[in-house]
Structure 1
């Protein structure tokens, strides 16, 4: 279930399209440049990012659209796909995180404090999802897919992210509990059993709600393509997309030593942009932390998250070209532009103070056994509920019973 309507028009599909060939060449050259400049490991993560972009696009794996479909219409396939993704994730992650190493290299999860900053930030992020038209991963793959409006969301996402670093120390000083790891508390087996039970409970609730409202579960539409054509041009089943995202996240853990993340790069891009206008982010607490200070002082392409984000955009672009759907449309209603700007700022600011987004905090946090990931899910969902209520002011609404993907 996609976050955004990519375009109504189509471009020539397939590998014979010069734009497709150009994008593939750009991917290869980008990997080669990153490899020579910053090492083979970063080049490999760039390719993993591209694979994530292809998967997100072809499976139309959305968080924003999936949550809105459940809130508005009681359709839960997207949420069930998320639960499957998380289930595969904890099965892969928990034993490795419990051991503290993978293939002899140290690994760590995203385990963050549980407190008011997570509650406020995740609620802001959830609200921003519905106004901005996407989450963190959704913004990247729809930008790569050719959605011009989402470029605006991405720009203000970066603005909001850097604003979130200005008073990050104040937010983190609010009442909170120390990080809680289910893996540390219950061991890999106990944490896995508890998590799988919760995933099954959420999935069961979506099934009950959907059957109560519609009498049956929504069936997958008959695809236009089959066999290798479907592999190259999509669409892929959303459940397959969830499994692939979990596997690619685990590959990220193996290569980078940490789970997949997205929005720390947006804060970095925003801070570097602010420096061009004479602003000195190094005076802020967030950028005085060793890892963040190092990232700010280094080239963007030396940053793991930035490299993977760029890879996601390029991978989604290649997927859109193979599907024949890469055709940016610059005719964007003014209210939609306003929603993208407001939503982008909320997304960026919320992600910083909540220790991450739908990928770093929700996906990465839950598969790391962090309680803050579950807290993020609850309050981001509540933010989505408010965002759904506010959408009619900004967007022309579809007829009753239809969930528009924009």
Structure 2
């Protein structure tokens, strides 16, 4: 093992120990976030490229790794929920109402994802890819999420109320909820294969992504176990934007969203930012991605970008952040209702 690789590992462990000082779970969350960032870059696993291939090339195989990850997460989460009482676990379910603004947000997020060429987690992972426009996309995401947090309450008042949050466990036993989710996913796969002309398994290239799927699912489930809640990429970025705005003189009390006591308490000091689980994971994913990029290419350097590329990355990040907050998260993560 080279000195450089050892330095990245020692750095991750040292940061984990620092965060875990008095808060063991925070140290575990950091190390798991580093693992997710490393895995995303090492296996080149992503969502935006798969969706683009699915739509533009009618390639259903592009969706198979994502479907496999969903299956692993559904089954793994069900297992953790079934062990919640025996092991004394405390897991928080994410709930979000089904509003028209959610559909608008998802639409904007999809446009931003294709402009930037990555999703929320993919933006963090792009830190390990030289010339990826990471700083611009990240800046756009932070600004977009913060702007979305300021505007979402007003937009939700202007749009029809929609439906309340749908949580299957409120009305179904755990096994039935799992079967229903898997059945819906199977129907989606059948519909996609019909749309794509039944290119059922293609060349089987998607199977090379199975190790990434299994490792990512394991890391995300362990993260759920350590933090007690799902990974919240956009929430961590929103907190970052709110702290930065407050440092520039913005008053959280002027915002309907941030003026709530529970949320304003998160903005009391830089330490409250550093101790937040969502922020820790986001920082850890960036660190893990940088480490993976350095391992692969020897260093992580920024390449010059053309003006059009800069606008794509910044604009894509803004749309993803803004729309993602309206839709309560990105592809596999959530943000507070």
Question: 1-side partners of 2:65 and 2:169: how far apart?
Answer: 23
Alignment pair present for 1:271 and 2:280: no
Does the CA-based 8 Å contact 2:252-2:264 persist in structure 1? no
Does the CA-based 8 Å contact 1:287-1:293 persist in structure 2? yes
Residues 127-166 of structure 1: pairs in structure 2 closer than 5 A: 127-166=111-150
Question: 2-side partners of 1:249 and 1:308: how far apart?
Answer: 11
Question: 2-side partners of 1:109 and 1:283: how far apart?
Answer: 29
TM-score, length-scaled by structure 1: 0.75
Alignment pair present for 1:121 and 2:105: yes
Question: 2-side partners of 1:328 and 1:101: how far apart?
Answer: 48
1:30 match = 15
Residues 303-318 of structure 1: pairs in structure 2 closer than 5 A: 303-318=276-291
Question: 1-side partners of 2:289 and 2:119: how far apart?
Answer: 15
2:187 match = 201
Question: 1-side partners of 2:181 and 2:118: how far apart?
Answer: 26
Cα offset, 1:251, TM superposition: 1.2
Does the CA-based 8 Å contact 2:61-2:200 persist in structure 1? no
Does the CA-based 8 Å contact 1:133-1:150 persist in structure 2? no
Does the CA-based 8 Å contact 1:94-1:183 persist in structure 2? no
Cα offset, 1:295, TM superposition: 2.0
Does the CA-based 8 Å contact 1:139-1:153 persist in structure 2? yes
Question: 2-side partners of 1:204 and 1:112: how far apart?
Answer: 28
Cα offset, 1:245, TM superposition: 2.2
Secondary structure of 1:328's aligned partner = coil
Question: 2-side partners of 1:144 and 1:102: how far apart?
Answer: 40
Cα offset, 1:348, TM superposition: 0.8
1:338 match = 311
Secondary structure of 2:333's aligned partner = helix
Unaligned residue ranges in structure 2 (runs of 5+): none
From the superposition, tell whether residues 349 and 320 of structure 1 become closer, same or farther in structure 2 (CA, over 3 Å). same
1:321 match = 294
Secondary structure of 1:285's aligned partner = coil
Question: 1-side partners of 2:298 and 2:134: how far apart?
Answer: 15
* Matched pairs, number: 333
Cα offset, 1:258, TM superposition: 0.9
Cα RMSD of the aligned pairs, angstroms, is 2.5
* Residues 6-55 of structure 1: per-residue CA shift (max 9 Å, x gap): xxxxxxxxx4153x33322321221121122x511101000010111122
Question: 1-side partners of 2:93 and 2:226: how far apart?
Answer: 13
Question: 1-side partners of 2:86 and 2:217: how far apart?
Answer: 16
* Residues 342-399 of structure 1: per-residue CA shift (max 9 Å, x gap): 11111111111211111224xx99xxxxxx9xxxxxxxxxxxxxxxxxxxxxxxxxxx
TM-score, length-scaled by structure 2: 0.90
